Amino acid sequence: MKSYLSIKTVYAVLHLFLNQTRPLYCRINQSVPVLDHFFSQEDPRPDFRLSRESLAVLLNLLNQDRRHGWGATIEILVFLFWLASGASYRVVSRVFGMPRSTVHYIVHRVTKEVLAIRYLVIHLPTTPEDLEVVSRGFAGLARHRAFMKAVGAIDGCHIRIKCPSGPDGQCYRNRKLFPSIILQAVCDLQDGHKPPAHTCRFIDTYVGWPGLVHDSRVLRHSPLYSQSVYPPPGHFILADGGYPCLQHPLPLITPYKRPVQGVGAQRFNSHHSRARSITERAFGMMKIARREVSQLTELQKGATKKVHKKYSKLSIPEALETAKQRLTALATRLRRYTREREGRRINQLFFTEPAKVYSQWQGNNNRTAPPRLETEQYWKSIWEKDATHNGNAQWLVDLRADHSDLLNRVQ
């Protein structure tokens, strides 16, 4: 005999099913060490390379107020941990206890959102007050009022990449023989003291050229050069010796070329180097915040593993050719360093003892100067001794005979 449920029973079951709490779509395990340290109000910089204040600013800029998925905070932490550690998706998924495909999705989506707001953070100074603050910062860092009109420092940085396949892949190998693309950046400075992390800011970036291209060529093709919107009239940007010294369309001030002559030029180069060092500090902080940029994880491994990994995918002829290229590049750098060091030594010696410089050029490096008394006696015997000459020498008689007619015409 079949039994049928009453309408009231079916209604009660449906009511209970519809009103019960829905299971969460996903749930993060906050007991994992990384999240436990973060939610315990500990310093997040060892894991994410950013302070809590910087994390709050980043969350505010992204404005991710979502009530589904993993949540904005967790996704930002996953993204920052991937950047800071340079680890694979598999490692990040194990650290946070989430699927590997989810890590892949979070990284790509947050990357697009960060790129969308980059112009809110990386932008040129616009107001006269901002330009005055930046100018005071460079003048204070250079320790000279001649740099009161400096409103930026430009430099290039090589970002390591995987070498592209095809015939154009060698164009990405830079002078240090590893594949890279060039990041050209302009930095500012907020005060004249030794800058903390928040005072070194990128105000303009241009990236994408192969590592083999020279910095000056990258500059000529950048929007900063072609559009000529910065710096304003009466101001200039500092650059190293790899860039040309320009007035138009982009005012660039570079140091004096070597060998530097004169005390004034040496002092100018010293002040210029102090002010220009802000770009190197900014690049250093960027590489610390994102270790994957220069693949520091490879440097943390042993030397043997590094060598084997470097040549593991190459055949024996390719490995030998790569090693020869590296040795050639190192030898060229060593010769250049030796020439520059010898030139500086000779310049310094010429200001103090020029006689030694001339003696070295003549190949008398090991000859010592004779005593003063011996030198005086030698020259006195030549110049102070009375000497008589034979006026009836045969060569004089022949000379008079040959030119006797010339003497008669003169008389």
311-360 pLDDT, tens digit per residue, is 556 555 566 566 666 667 767 777 777 777 778 778 877 778 777 777 77
- Identify whether 389 is part of a domain: no
Alpha carbon 382 to its chain's center: 65
349: amino acid identity, one letter: L
Are 164 and 181 contacting, i.e. CB atoms less than 8 angstroms apart?
no
Asked if 138 and 286 sit in the same domain, the reply is yes
Out of 91, 120, 149, pick the residue that ends a domain.
120
- Identify whether 380 is part of a domain: no
Task: Kindly report which listed range (71-80, 85-94, 193-202) carries the lowest average pLDDT score.
Answer: 193-202
Predicted local confidence at residue 67, as pLDDT: 55
Asked if 97 and 239 sit in the same domain, the reply is no
Asked if 89 and 212 sit in the same domain, the reply is no
Asked if 254 and 160 sit in the same domain, the reply is yes
Q: What Cα–Cα distance (Å) separates residue 312 from each residue in 128, 167, 170, 308, 318?
A: 56, 21, 19, 6, 11
Asked if 147 and 281 sit in the same domain, the reply is yes
**Model confidence at 24, in pLDDT bands (50, 70, 90)?**
very low
Asked if 307 and 278 sit in the same domain, the reply is no
- Cis amide linkage into residue 249, ω under 30° from 0: yes
Are 49 and 76 contacting, i.e. CB atoms less than 8 angstroms apart?
no
Please list the residues that pair with 238 across neighbouring strands. 153, 253
Asked if 111 and 174 sit in the same domain, the reply is no
Report the percent of the chain where pLDDT is more than 90: 2
**Model confidence at 405, in pLDDT bands (50, 70, 90)?**
confident
- Identify whether 187 is part of a domain: yes
- Identify whether 68 is part of a domain: yes
Rounded Cα distance, 308 and 312, in Å: 6
Out of 76, 101, 120, pick the residue that ends a domain.
120
Rounded Cα distance, 385 and 360, in Å: 33
**Model confidence at 232, in pLDDT bands (50, 70, 90)?**
confident
400: amino acid identity, one letter: R
- 10 Å CB burial of residue 285 (0-12, 13-18, 19+) is middle
- Identify whether 86 is part of a domain: yes
Out of 268, 298, 328, pick the residue that ends a domain.
298
**Model confidence at 218, in pLDDT bands (50, 70, 90)?**
very high
- Identify whether 1 is part of a domain: no
Asked if 198 and 167 sit in the same domain, the reply is yes
Mean pLDDT of the chain: 76
108 — phi, psi (to 5°)? -70, -40
- Identify whether 127 is part of a domain: yes
Task: Kindly report the pTM of this predicted structure.
Answer: 0.57
Asked if 126 and 175 sit in the same domain, the reply is yes
Which range of 69-78, 107-116, 193-202, 308-317 scores highest in mean pLDDT? It is 107-116
Sheet holding 201-210, edge to edge: 201-210, 180-188, 150-160, 236-238, 252-253
340 or 363, greater pLDDT: 340
Average pLDDT of 170-187?
Answer: 88
Q: How many domains does the chain have?
A: 3
Predicted local confidence at residue 308, as pLDDT: 42
Rounded Cα distance, 76 and 79, in Å: 5
Predicted local confidence at residue 262, as pLDDT: 81
Given the structure tokens 């005012």, which residue do they identify? 251
What does DSSP assign to residue 79?
A: H
Asked if 196 and 277 sit in the same domain, the reply is yes
- Identify whether 18 is part of a domain: no
- Cis amide linkage into residue 44, ω under 30° from 0: no
Are 80 and 50 contacting, i.e. CB atoms less than 8 angstroms apart?
yes
pLDDT tens for each residue of 297-313 = 343 344 334 444 555 56
Are 187 and 153 contacting, i.e. CB atoms less than 8 angstroms apart?
yes
Asked if 243 and 323 sit in the same domain, the reply is no
Candidates 187, 46, 82, 192; CA nearest to 124 is 187
Q: How many CB atoms lie within 10 A of CB 152?
A: 27
Give residue 357's domain range: 301-372
187 — phi, psi (to 5°)? -115, 155
Asked if 275 and 145 sit in the same domain, the reply is yes
